[in-house]
Structure 1
Amino acid sequence: MNAMRMLVTGATLLLAACDHTTPPQSAASVASVPAPATSAAKPVSHFSPPEESSIPNDDFGKQIALGRQIFVDPGRYAKAYVGNQLSCENCHLDAGRLANAAPLWGAYPMYPAYRSKNHHVNTFAERLQGCFNYSMNGKAPPLGDPVLVALETYAYWMSKGEPIGTSLPGRSYPKLSKPAMAPDYARGEKVFKSDCALCHGDNGQGQQTADRTVFPPLWGPQSFNWGAGMEQITNAAGFIKANMPLGRGNTLTDQDAWDVAYFMNAHERPQDPRFNGSIPATRAAYHDTPDSLYGVAVNGQLLGQGTAK
């Protein structure tokens, strides 16, 4: 990657599995799960998507290239549907190519699929719509919209040669074993200050250059909203462990990854679009899991109130 690509991919969050299951009434409940030892990474052979230089020079190739442009810079190429400063690449690194960063080639062959998040079988295009609604805090392009067509074309091209419906190594974020100690705000803050603040800023609001986001905001009005998959601590911890700090993935301990994921998600962000007027009722309906801090009080602050854009 060139220097700008490295900056743009200085990501931390957004588009992962967003399914939710059973809750605690407080953040401390995360500690109730028995804690296996730190997970040990083993060398794994991952699928290799085609090189970008092999994009065909024809009308189909133009759609592939457009899909890549939208993926890397949706604020420019899909502006009508984006509501924050994030790009798809912030959570799906290297233009959606990198294993263990929820690559596009890992997702495309797994659809159509039933998702408990919305209780029906989703097409890949519907999955992309969800990304705009939640991770991008925007609005979903209608099915058949040129933005969705280009993104799906890009994902299809990247996935050529893969078996359909087979979960390949590296297709999502790593699933870490539960930590020895319950994720902790104070410990997470220390990790953030030592390993994350340099890129994402002391206040977690990222960095911009010439009106372009080079390191994304991790919370606040310009980050992903409470409906995004990255608000689940499990997803955030796996992404952070494998990929952060940028260029130094797998250097944090599992415990550090859990703690800093907790710290990041213990900050307010835009409201869940499914908010029904009641934080407890919205938690019960959509965030009923120990992995979510929506509707949980942390440091005396009830999370889930949302932020204005």
Structure 2
Amino acid sequence: MMRTLLTVALSGCVMLPITAAANDDRTQAYIDQLTAMGFPAPNENQLVHIPPSMADLEKADIHPELKKVIRRGYDLFTNTQQLRGKNVFNNMNCSSCHLGEGRMPFSAPIWPAAVTLPGYRGKNGHVNNLEERIAGCFTYSMNGKPLEYGSDDMLALSAYHQWLATGVEMYPKQPIYGRGFPAPERPAELSYVNGEKLYQKNCAVCHAEDGVGLRIDGHTVFPAPWGDMSNNWGAGIVRLHTAAGFIKNNMPLGQPNSLTDQEAWDIAFYMDSQERPQDPRYTGDVKETAEKFGPTFHKHSMYGQVRESDGKLLGDHDNTGDKPFLKPDTVRSRTFD
């Protein structure tokens, strides 16, 4: 069903109320498929956008050179491993987290970034543009080194984001339907033991019992949810609510919304209580780093906390995985003072 949805993701955007959208058969079919999969229907006044596909690109009335650049962006997005050892130092692709080629609602579709940036980001405390947002994904989720600003590949990735946003106005005033990884309400208690059992039952078949994922002939089939080949401690998905939202809305693959809220949170708690490469912002002391970036980030993660199963202080190490450096020079502050 997850893959079937993508085959009807036709180009266009529509403003609700629903009564107006009902006249658009394509949009209504799109909404109907999502609700049949357990996702909520759009609220009134939400922006519903159906991103164009690569098939739509071939039919689009735009310059052939621009099509070539967008195709390159798509290729980088779905096979980011081609940059392994240069910009990527783990087993992740961009599409490992942003499912459906970055087009899937409730799986952090990437097109909203193209119409809401430049914008302020609390994680680094300043206004970010689209290139800087992409750079952040390479720094943390790819445990890597960002593409150079203004480079051909950065242009291509940016162009792909913007192509998916075709037809959407800049800085939309309405809330965006299906944006991000919306998390279910956090339960009163989280269980590491139950999370481990649920992971082994529901997740290990793809991501392996020890979280190493699956690679075949140098290609990532299923990413590593923890360990040296996973994202580092600065990646957004180490935040419990982000992981719980991703799991609830997307996992097991092809079975969205099949886990209860408690189950999604418990798996996230277990998964994010496992070690991974060091946060690139590491000061040399895990407690100091957790405190420094706690208000904007780590208050939602297990970084710097003691794991209940064995008393281990999470993040207390200098391990950077396969990456031969800690902090890329693109992690920087910005001020207009």
Query: CA separation in 2, counterparts of 1:171 and 1:118?
Result: 21
Matching residue of 1:147 = 153
Work out which of the residue numbers 51, 54, 58 in structure 1 matches 2:53: 51
Determine if the alignment matches structure 1 residue 188 to structure 2 residue 195. Answer: yes
Matching residue of 1:205 = 212
Work out which of the residue numbers 159, 169, 193 in structure 1 matches 2:165: 159
Name segments (4+ residues, structure 1) moved above 4 Å. Answer: none
Matching residue of 1:303 = 314
Match of 1:114, SS? strand
Alignment of 1:81-160 (within 5 A): 81-160=87-166
Matching residue of 1:233 = 240
Query: CA separation in 2, counterparts of 1:109 and 1:50?
Result: 15
Query: Retained in 1: the 8 A contact 2:84–2:90?
Result: no
Superposed displacement of residue 42, structure 1: 2.5
Matching residue of 1:30 = none
Identity rate, percent: 39
Match of 2:49, SS? coil
Superposed displacement of residue 205, structure 1: 0.6
Matching residue of 2:264 = 257
Superposed displacement of residue 164, structure 1: 1.8
Superposed displacement of residue 183, structure 1: 1.7
Work out which of the residue numbers 286, 289, 303 in structure 2 matches 1:282: 289
The verdict on how the C-alpha distance between 1:87 and 1:169 changes in structure 2, with shifts beyond 3 A counting, is same
Work out which of the residue numbers 182, 207, 219 in structure 2 matches 1:174: 182
Superposed displacement of residue 305, structure 1: 2.6
Query: CA separation in 1, counterparts of 2:214 and 2:84?
Result: 21
Deviations 1:118-138 (A, max 9, x none): 111000110000000000000
Determine if the alignment matches structure 1 residue 244 to structure 2 residue 242. Answer: no
TM, length-normalised to structure 1: 0.84
Q: Which has the higher contact order (CA 8 A, sep 6+)?
A: 1
Superposed displacement of residue 79, structure 1: 5.3
Deviations 1:45-83 (A, max 9, x none): 841111211224710000000000000111115752111
Determine if the alignment matches structure 1 residue 219 to structure 2 residue 226. Answer: yes
Higher alpha-carbon deviation: 50-59 or 257-266 = 50-59
Give RMSD over aligned pairs: 2.0
Match of 1:302, SS? coil
> Where in structure 1 are there 5+ consecutive unaligned residues?
7-39
Query: Retained in 1: the 8 A contact 2:81–2:219?
Result: no
Query: CA separation in 1, counterparts of 2:272 and 2:2?
Result: 30
> Where in structure 2 are there 5+ consecutive unaligned residues?
7-37, 323-337
Query: Retained in 1: the 8 A contact 2:81–2:88?
Result: yes
AA of the residue aligned to 1:47? H
The verdict on how the C-alpha distance between 1:55 and 1:79 changes in structure 2, with shifts beyond 3 A counting, is farther
Matching residue of 1:28 = none
AA of the residue aligned to 1:135? S
Query: CA separation in 1, counterparts of 2:239 and 2:2?
Result: 31
Deviations 1:129-165 (A, max 9, x none): 0000000000112210112100000011110111322
Query: CA separation in 2, counterparts of 1:165 and 1:234?
Result: 25
Query: CA separation in 2, counterparts of 1:142 and 1:211?
Result: 25
Determine if the alignment matches structure 1 residue 80 to structure 2 residue 79. Answer: no
AA of the residue aligned to 1:55? L
The verdict on how the C-alpha distance between 1:46 and 1:195 changes in structure 2, with shifts beyond 3 A counting, is farther
Query: Retained in 2: the 8 A contact 1:205–1:218?
Result: yes
Query: CA separation in 1, counterparts of 2:191 and 2:48?
Result: 33
